[in-house]
Amino acid sequence: KLYNEVQEAKGNIRVFCRCRPLSKAEVTAGHETVVDFDAAKDGELGILSGGSTKKTFKFDRVYTPKDDQVDVFADASPMVMSVLDGYNVCIFAYGQTGTGKTFTMEGTEQNRGVNYRTLEELFKIADERSETFTYNISVSVLEVYNEQIRDLLAASPTSKKLEIKQASEGFHHVPGIVEAKVENTSQIWSVLQAGSSARAVGSNNVNEHSSRSHCMLCIMVRAKNLMNGECTNSKLWLVDLAGSERLAKTDAQGDRLKEAQNINRSLSALGDVISALATKSSHIPYRNSKLTHLLQHSLGGDSKTLMFVQISPSEQDLNETLSSLNFATRVR
């Protein structure tokens, strides 16, 4: 309840910061951690950036490496569940490659992430409300790579060129995209896995490829009120963004350069849209990237947005960490 009051008072954008643990390799190499979690409970994070200087950042939540998938979902779920009340919702994970974006959104079979838990919870609530509502839930899984959209649930994801079309006022869609109906909890994991394994198709290095593309899960909810026959359609986007790290100078040519420019452009476009929304600007530049164009009706208006800014605790990643925290501060 408190959560919703806070939300009313502060608009519709939340930022949660999550820091992964030091990896085994980092521990072995003796890398120090530069993150101070003393005030994490108050949403504060300290970054020790050399000597005795500490830079402080404030977010709606701060997760330490000890917080698990259950802790994270507990805070995200009220916002996610408002999709059942007809709101459009968008959640995305931002950060350098290797900081846990995929861990937070997708998770692993043993430690399932926000995507799985969201669908599981939607089914649970739909079931509890089944005397007054019927819900139809379907999902699409897309990838945006070099400003091209690929349907990860299509039989052959690479064959079709997909475009965004305006179907009617306030409603966009991608004609020809697969919308897989999900009927119960037991189907969720396999649909999500099908999408995620299709990311690898046509690329020689799966991890590299997925860190350079945006992976977007769209959950479409159609609700019918059995009392008055009213129907609502709402959308929930769950986005695992491309890595935000800057390109090493040595890589700055050819395909790598083109990929990096596209990532840079789309992440800046996202930042621009969110900060234009936050300052109530009259022009919101949704059309500057495929990413923001797809998310148009789930960013702004009365829709709800949650951003996970993912960081590494290691001193080696200090510059990227500061740059991610600054990005997240700008949108908040």
As measured in angstroms, the least distance from the Cβ of 214 to Mg ion is 11
Does residue 116 touch ligand ADP according to CB under 6 A? Answer: no
**What does the per-residue mask of binding to ligand ADP show for 3-22, with x meaning CB under 6 A?**
-----------------xx-
244 lies in the site for ligand ADP, by CB under 6 A:
no
Among positions 88, 118, 196, 211, the unique one binding ligand ADP when judged by CB under 6 A: 211
In the complex, what is the shortest distance from the CB of residue 93 to ligand ADP, in angstroms, rounded to a whole number?
A: 7
Name which position in 102, 196, 289, 314 contacts ligand ADP (CB under 6 A): 102
Binding at 103: pick from Mg ion, ligand ADP, none (beta carbon under 5-8 Å per type):
ligand ADP
Q: What is the 3-state secondary structure (H, E, C) of the chain?
A: CHHHHHHHHHCCEEEEEEECCCCHHHHHCCCCECEECCCHHHCEEEEECCCCCEEEEECCEEECCCCCHHHHHHHHHHHHHHHHHCCCEEEEEEECCCCCHHHHHCECCCCECHHHHHHHHHHHHHHHCCCCEEEEEEEEEEEEECCEEEECCCCCCCCCCECCEEEECCEEECCCCCCEECCCHHHHHHHHHHHHHHCCCCCCCHHHHHHCCEEEEEEEEEEEECCCCCEEEEEEEEEECCCCCCCCHHHCCHHHHHHHHHHHHHHHHHHHHHHHHHCCCCCCCHHHCHHHHHHHHHCCCCCEEEEEEEECCEHHHHHHHHHHHHHHHHHC
Is 199 a binder of ligand ADP (CB under 6 A)?
Answer: no
- Residue 100 touches which of ligand ADP, Mg ion, none (Cβ within 5-8 Å per kind): ligand ADP
> In angstroms, what is the minimal distance from the CB of 102 to Mg ion?
3
Contact range with ligand ADP by CB under 6 A, out of 93-101, 121-129, 137-145, 173-181: 93-101
Segment near ligand ADP (CB under 6 A); pick from 38-46, 76-84, 101-109, 273-281: 101-109
Binding mask 304-323 for ligand ADP (x = CB under 6 A): ------x-------------
Residues 53-112 interacting with Mg ion (rule: CB under 5 A)? 101-102
Site for ligand ADP, rule CB under 6 A: 20-21, 95, 97-103, 211, 310
